[in-house]
DNA sequence: GTCTATACGTCGATAGAC
DNA sequence: GTCTATCGACGTATAGAC
C-alpha cells in the first residue's frame, strides 16, 4: 500500500499507461472540438470521432461533464502557455485578450457557456467545482492587478478592488453571450469603455 | 373564416377552451417552478407535477424548450405588472430591480441561465429566439434611458449609449451567475459602482 | 380539439466478459 | 484496460379514444 494509487477516490488515469492513454484521448477530443465546434457534445458522438467507445471515455474521465471540463481546462492551459499574460494591462483588457484567444477555437466559447450554465444547476458537481474555482481564481488575480494599478495611479483609487474584479469578469462573460447571439454587439468596445471608466478618464 | 384562428402556423391553444386550458397548465407549471426551483425540468417530471401526461404538454407548447420559454416569459410579465418600472432610475439600477424580482422566485434565475446557454447552441430555435429578442429589447430600452439621462446631464455624455446598454446588461447577467455560485459576491454593490462610474462621480 | 397510450431513437451510466 | 450488452430516463412523434 506504499505508493499504491488505490487510496484516492479519483483513481482514474493514475497508472503510467493510464495517464498516457488519457492524455492521448484528451488530445483527440480537443482536436475534435477545435475542428467542428461544440455540436453534438454527447459521449457517444465524441467517442466515435475520437475512435473509442463511449464506455472508454467514462472509464478515463468518469462522466461526460468531467470530460468537458478536462477539454476546456486543457485548451485554456495551452492558450496560456502559448501567449503568456503581459504584465502591464488594464483589467478589462486582460479579459479581452483571454476572450479573443478562446474565440479562435470554435466551440470553446459555447463549451464555457454550457459548463457555466450546468454549474448553477444542482447535481452537476464537476461543472460546479470548475466554475466556482475559475471565478474565485480570476477574481483574486484581477483584484490584485487592480490594486497594483491603483497604487501606481493608473486606476481610480476610490474603487473596491474586489468589486471591480467581479464587475470586469461579469462584463466580459455577459458581453460574450450577447456577442454570440448578435455579432454586431461590440464586445471589445464595451470593455474598452469600461477600462476608461475605471481609469477615471474625463473623455 | 371570419375570426377563425386556423390561419396562423402556431395553431396551438387558440380556441377559447384551448387557451384557457393552456393558461391553466402554465399557471401550474409556474407554481411548480416557484415551489421547488428548477430541479428536474424534464417534460415528464413537469407533467407529473402539473397532473397531466407529458404528451399533453407538447400538445399545448410544442416542445420542452417552448414550455420553458413560456414559463419564464409569463413569470417576467407578472413581475413587471406587479411592480411597474420607476421612470427615473439609472441604467444599472433598473437591471438591479429586475434581478431582485427574479431572485424572489426560486428557479427563475436558473431557468434564465439554462435558456441563455441553450440559445447559443445550435438547434435550439425557441431559446435562441427568446434570448435574441430579449437582449435586443433590453438594449434598446436601456440605450434610450441612457440618452435621456445624458440629455438631462445626469450621465456622462461622452459615452456611446448602445455600448453602455450592452455593458450594463452584461454586467448584471454575469454578476448574477457569479452570485449564484458564490453568494459573497456583491451583485448590488458592483452594479451601484458601475452606476457611479457612468454618472462620472469623482467619488 | 383535447388528451392518452404507446413506440422510437438517443442519451449517460454501469456491469461483466475478455 | 477496453469492449459489448443493457438499463432507465429522456424528447419527440403519432394513432386513436373521447
pLDDT, mean of residues B166-188: 97
Kindly calculate the radius of gyration of chain B based on its CA atoms and give it in whole angstroms: 19
B120 in A contact zone (CB under 8 Å): yes
Closest residue by C-alpha to C1' distance, nucleotide C14: A55
Alpha-carbon distances of B67 from A30, B127, B186, B188, B197, rounded to whole Å:
34, 10, 32, 31, 39
Q: Report the alpha-carbon distance of residue B53 to residue B11 in Å, rounded.
A: 20
Chain segment B83-142, per-residue pLDDT in tens: 777 778 999 999 999 999 988 888 999 999 999 999 999 899 999 999 999 999 999 999
B148: cell is 435621456
Q: Which of A86, A49, A178, A68 is nearest to A126 (CA)?
A: A68
Chain segment A19-77, per-residue pLDDT in tens: 889 999 999 999 999 999 999 999 999 999 999 999 999 999 999 999 999 999 999 99
Q: A98 and A194, same structural domain?
A: yes
Q: A95 and A76, same structural domain?
A: no
- In chain A, % of residues over pLDDT 70: 91
- The SS3 call for residue A123 is coil
Q: Which of A55, A84, A113 is the last residue of a domain?
A: A84
Range 5-64, chain B: CB under 7 Å to any strand D atom: 40-45, 54-55, 58, 63-64
pLDDT (0 to 100) of residue A87: 77
Contact B95, B168 (CB under 8 A): yes
pLDDT (0 to 100) of residue B87: 76
Q: For cell 401550474, what's the residue?
A: B28
pLDDT (0 to 100) of residue B7: 36
A140 in B contact zone (CB under 8 Å): no
Task: Domain count for chain B, please give it.
Answer: 2
Residue B156 has pLDDT above 60, yes or no: yes
pLDDT (0 to 100) of residue A4: 41
Q: B176 and B122, same structural domain?
A: yes
pLDDT, mean of residues B13-33: 86
Q: A24 and A52, same structural domain?
A: yes
Query: pTM score, two decimals?
Result: 0.92
**CATH number of the domain bearing residue A141:** 1.10.357
Q: Which of B24, B51, B84 is the last residue of a domain?
A: B84
Q: Report the alpha-carbon distance of residue A119 to residue A113 in Å, rounded.
A: 10
Strand C contact with B60 (CB < 7 A): yes
Q: How confident is the model at residue A14 (pLDDT cuts 50, 70, 90)?
A: low
Q: Which of B133, B111, B119 is nearest to B30 (CA)?
A: B111
CA distance B4 to chain A (A): 36
Q: A185 and A117, same structural domain?
A: yes
- In chain B, % of residues over pLDDT 70: 91
Q: Which of B193, B97, B188, B186 is nearest to B141 (CA)?
A: B97
pLDDT, mean of residues A158-182: 98
**CATH number of the domain bearing residue B47:** 1.10.357.10
pLDDT, mean of residues B47-71: 97
Chain segment A109-154, per-residue pLDDT in tens: 999 999 999 999 999 999 999 999 999 999 999 999 999 999 999 9
Q: B130 and B47, same structural domain?
A: no
pLDDT, mean of residues B19-43: 94
Q: Which residue of B has its CA nearest to A115?
A: B117
Contact A14, A58 (CB under 8 A): no
Chain segment A82-115, per-residue pLDDT in tens: 877 777 899 999 999 999 998 888 899 999 999 9
Q: Report the alpha-carbon distance of residue B153 to residue A138 in Å, rounded.
A: 36
Residue B12 has pLDDT above 80, yes or no: no
Q: B122 and B24, same structural domain?
A: no
Residues of B within 8 A of A181 (CB-CB) are 119-120, 128, 131-132, 135
pLDDT (0 to 100) of residue B158: 96
pLDDT (0 to 100) of residue A167: 98
DSSP label of B86: P
- The SS3 call for residue B85 is coil
Q: How confident is the model at residue A186 (pLDDT cuts 50, 70, 90)?
A: very high
B162: cell is 448602445
Sequence-distant (6+) residues with CB within 8 A of B49 are: B28, B32, B36
Contact B58, B102 (CB under 8 A): no
Q: A90 and A78, same structural domain?
A: no
Residue B6 has pLDDT above 50, yes or no: no
Mean pLDDT, chain A, whole residue set: 90
Domain that residue A175 falls in: 85-203
Contact B99, B172 (CB under 8 A): yes
- Name which of A9-13, B17-21, B151-155 the model is least confident about: A9-13
pLDDT, mean of residues A165-174: 98
Q: B110 and B52, same structural domain?
A: no
Q: Which of B84, B108, B129 is the last residue of a domain?
A: B84
pLDDT (0 to 100) of residue B86: 76
Q: A109 and A78, same structural domain?
A: no
Q: A186 and A112, same structural domain?
A: yes
A184 in B contact zone (CB under 8 Å): no
Q: B190 and B96, same structural domain?
A: yes
pLDDT (0 to 100) of residue A9: 40
Residues of B within 8 A of A121 (CB-CB) are 38-39, 110, 114
Sequence-distant (6+) residues with CB within 8 A of B117 are: A113, A114, A116, A117, A118
DSSP label of A86: P
Contact A194, B92 (CB under 8 A): no
pLDDT (0 to 100) of residue A86: 77
Sequence-distant (6+) residues with CB within 8 A of B197 are: A197, A198
Sequence-distant (6+) residues with CB within 8 A of A153 are: none
Q: Report the alpha-carbon distance of residue B88 to residue B93 in Å, rounded.
A: 10
Amino acid at each position: 500500500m506504499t505508493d499504491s494509487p488505490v487510496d484516492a477516490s479519483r483513481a482514474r488515469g493514475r497508472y503510467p499507461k493510464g495517464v498516457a492513454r488519457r492524455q492521448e484521448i484528451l488530445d483527440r477530443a480537443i482536436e475534435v472540438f477545435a475542428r467542428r465546434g461544440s455540436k453534438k457534445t454527447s459521449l457517444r458522438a465524441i467517442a466515435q470521432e475520437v475512435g473509442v467507445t463511449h464506455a472508454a471515455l467514462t472509464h478515463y474521465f468518469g462522466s461526460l461533464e468531467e470530460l468537458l471540463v478536462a477539454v476546456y481546462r486543457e485548451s485554456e492551459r495551452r492558450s496560456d502557455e502559448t501567449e503568456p499574460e503581459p504584465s502591464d494591462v488594464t483589467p478589462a483588457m486582460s479579459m479581452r485578450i483571454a476572450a479573443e484567444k478562446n474565440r479562435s477555437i470554435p466551440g470553446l466559447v459555447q463549451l464555457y457557456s454550457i459548463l457555466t450554465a450546468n454549474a448553477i444547476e444542482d447535481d452537476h458537481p464537476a461543472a460546479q467545482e470548475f466554475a466556482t474555482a475559475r471565478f474565485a481564481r480570476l477574481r483574486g488575480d484581477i483584484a490584485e492587478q487592480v490594486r497594483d494599478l491603483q497604487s501606481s495611479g493608473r486606476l481610480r483609487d476610490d474603487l473596491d478592488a474586489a468589486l471591480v474584479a467581479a464587475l470586469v469578469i461579469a462584463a466580459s462573460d455577459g458581453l460574450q453571450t450577447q456577442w454570440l447571439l448578435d455579432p454586431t454587439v461590440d464586445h471589445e468596445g464595451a470593455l474598452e469603455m469600461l477600462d476608461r471608466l475605471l481609469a477615471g478618464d474625463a473623455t
